Amino acid sequence: MPESAAHPPSAYVQIDHPWVSHRHMPIYEWTFPSEASDEELSTFIRAREDWAKLAHYPVAWVVELSNLRKANAGQRKLFAEHLKRFEEHDVRWNAGSALIVPRAWLRGLVTAVFWISPPEFPHQAFARRSDALEWAQLQLDAKVAERSDSSQTQTG
């Protein structure tokens, strides 16, 4: 039985934060605002880390960065540190992160964060949300199939 069948939609855990959409769970979409205070970013990070304690199933992310206008060095560092703490969950469960980054300076920002804390999971930048969602779904399908094959090998 595929792992996705073992996790019906009601078993998926929502992230308690207004930046996150749960419409396509277990693909989680989050949209960064144009600008966030350090406290708003910290609140988001805490919500995501709390979610990870309960979400033990394959997921994918679509991260909308199109609105982002400003992120200071402290916020970039704060987020890089979050990614480091989140790494164990990502390595095990993250099928991929699709980043919507239509502007060159945003791609530079993503590169800077990933340079500080390089991801151990598939990731790709996209100009359009539809392309990002399609890629995320393909990555998720592959991760679910991989985990299903692995569990059948272990039990067979």
Amino acid found at 42: S
pTM strictly above 0.85? no
pLDDT in tens, 39-76: 999 999 999 999 999 999 999 999 998 888 888 889 98
Strand-pair partners of 124: 98
Neighbour tally for 128: CB within 10 Å? 11
Report which of residues 95 and 103 the model is more confident about. 95
Average pLDDT over residues 91-116: 83
> Which pLDDT belongs to residue 154?
64
CA-nearest of 76, 4, 67, 65 to 29 is 65
Is residue 113 pLDDT above 80, yes or no? no
> d(Cα 35, Cα 18) in Å, to the nearest integer?
14
pLDDT in tens, 10-29: 689 999 999 999 999 999 99
Domains and CATH numbers, the chain: 17-145 (3.30.750.24)
| Portion of the chain with pLDDT greater than 90, in percent | 54
Strand-pair partners of 99: 63, 125
> Which pLDDT belongs to residue 156?
56
